[in-house]
Structure 1
Amino acid sequence: MLHWDAETLWQDLEPRAPGLSVEVLAETGSTNTLLLERGRQGLDGPCLLVAECQTAGRGRLGRPWWSQPGQALTFSLGLKLAPANWSGLSLAVGLALAEALGERIGLKWPNDLWLRSEDRKLGGILIEVAPLAVPTQRPGERWVVVGAGLNVAPLPEGQASADTFRTGYACLQEFEPGLTAPQLLHRVARPLLDAVLAFESTGLAPLLSRYAARDVLAGRAVSAGALTGVACGLSADGTLQVRDAQGTVHALHSGEVSVRPC
């Protein structure tokens, strides 16, 4: 296995989430699936779960998200959360990761990280929420699992495919050649945990201007199903605003958005 220094990471994170555990697995099907199942069983102490290799990882719309040791960082954070409004949690998480990774990283609504100006995908986020097995006294509290996959290294020869990577493949070693998956985890774990805890208290609103600064869709022609138009930023609740050719602004709460060719 790679050297993750989980003890140091735990010492940094546990004061922010008392009782948190940091676990590293050589291989699992999906870190999200594993933590969701633990939550259903009532094992709902906060946990950061990392897998060197995922064999059944999942992205949005059920798409597979696989990884090999060292090629990508795949991990999930599970904890109990009770925000007043759940809307925009994936946007808050994406922003925290992008800011931890540097100015070259942009955000594609609702939960992808791209290299700015290049339209290549660097990573993605999958958030899943389930009822608590044992309800608590906090209104609306649920078990939430925040999963992330970030490309670290280039793909092995012959693995790149237009079908698999429809928006292109980007990795962090393109501009940080010596970066490893463990180093990346230590960089992003604290900002991610802080962002999730802050979202519980303050929601998305304080983050909108920072998100706008990294929004790769703003001002561009996009399509979402039968709707085509120009993306014009987010509303206060994190919905994507798209202005069609007639000037009508449509609010997208979820779904797949594609950048249209110029």
Structure 2
Amino acid sequence: MRRPSLDADRLAALAPDLVVEVLETTTSTNAVAAERAREGAPEGLVVVAEHQTAGRGRLNRTWETPARSALTFSLVLRPTVSPADWPWLPLLTGHVVAKTLRAAGYDAGVKWPNDVLLGDQKIAGILLERVETGTGPAAVVGVGLNVSLTADELPVPTGTSLLLASGAAPDRTALLVSLLGSLREAYDAWQAGGSAATARLRSSYVAGCVTIGREVRVEMPSGEPITGRAAGVDESGRLVVAGATGETVVGAGDVVHVRATDQ
């Protein structure tokens, strides 16, 4: 299968506040972006890898794909919002990725907190890391999106790719340009809009979240699961689960897995 490289010239033509660094091979774009942030990289630096050999997900899960078969990139941000609002960043990212894919014709949705699905199959994962730097904390937002993987190349059987979903792989450069533009626009609007913008994000996120309304089983580190109906998302981005004994609120950092039980 022919898998073209990203077009560096087209990426260089992005908005001036986005600077894209393309690496042929790296272990983890999040690790590189974090190091760039510690070295003083400004907000808007994007590190993208043609081949990521040791990508990381939540709970240090590993993720690797063949060269040029995915979009693996990390964006350096330096939020000015309150630290209490930072948990919305990965949810915002998942929401924007799903929204961008829907605009491109894919039936995408977000599984709380930020996995992007096509149907019940995972198409993209997102990892947010806080990095302490000499000029204050930065956020590194990593995205891994399966583009042209075949069924035999999928890292897990519950995953999928844009190729498998539609029969054709899109232009990765055009898709990356669209994703970065949408992410920056949504991030800027959220930062500038205060509590009203967070309320709008919450409403839009819930509308596109496939978890809401389903019966779920939330696996906790303690080993004691929480079961019930995913009733909504609170003002801090936490999942509200309505069970037999009432409502329980869980944050993304508190859970191991969230699984639908009504399939």
Name structure 1 gaps, 5 residues minimum: 136-141
Q: Between Structure 1 and Structure 2, how many residues are aligned?
A: 244
CA RMSD between the two structures: 2.0
My pick for the range that moved more, 198-207 or 98-107, is 198-207
Which amino acid in 1 is paired with 2:141?
V
How far off is 1:204 after superposition? 2.8
How far off is 1:235 after superposition? 1.1
How far off is 1:215 after superposition? 1.2
Identity fraction in percent = 35
Give secondary structure in 1 for the equivalent of 2:130: strand
- Which string of whole-angstrom CA distances, capped at 9 and with x for unpartnered residues, describes residues 118-171 of structure 1? 310010111111222134xxxxxx2111110111113363x45xxx526x1121
- Preserved CA contact (<8 Å) 2:148 2:169: no
- Preserved CA contact (<8 Å) 2:28 2:54: yes
Q: Which residue of 2 aligns with 1:57?
A: 55
TM-score, structure 1 normalization: 0.85
Counterpart CA distance in 1 for 2:67 and 2:189 is: 32
Q: Aligned ranges for residues 80-99 of structure 1 at < 5 Å?
A: 80-84=78-82, 85-99=85-99
Q: Which residue of 2 aligns with 1:128?
A: 129
Higher helix share: 2
Does the C-alpha gap of structure 1 residues 251 and 210 become closer, same or farther in structure 2, counting only changes over 3 Å?
Answer: same
Aligned partner (choices 11, 22, 25) of residue 9 of structure 1: 11
- Preserved CA contact (<8 Å) 1:114 1:120: yes
Give secondary structure in 2 for the equivalent of 1:186: helix
My pick for the range that moved more, 193-202 or 50-59, is 193-202
How far off is 1:261 after superposition? 4.6
Name structure 2 gaps, 5 residues minimum: 220-224
Q: Which residue of 2 aligns with 1:208?
A: 202
Give secondary structure in 2 for the equivalent of 1:121: strand
TM-score, structure 2 normalization: 0.85
Counterpart CA distance in 2 for 1:192 and 1:6 is: 19
- Preserved CA contact (<8 Å) 1:2 1:182: no
Higher relative contact order (CA 8 A, sep 6+): 1
Counterpart CA distance in 2 for 1:187 and 1:210 is: 19
How far off is 1:257 after superposition? 1.1
How far off is 1:176 after superposition? 6.0
Give secondary structure in 1 for the equivalent of 2:96: helix
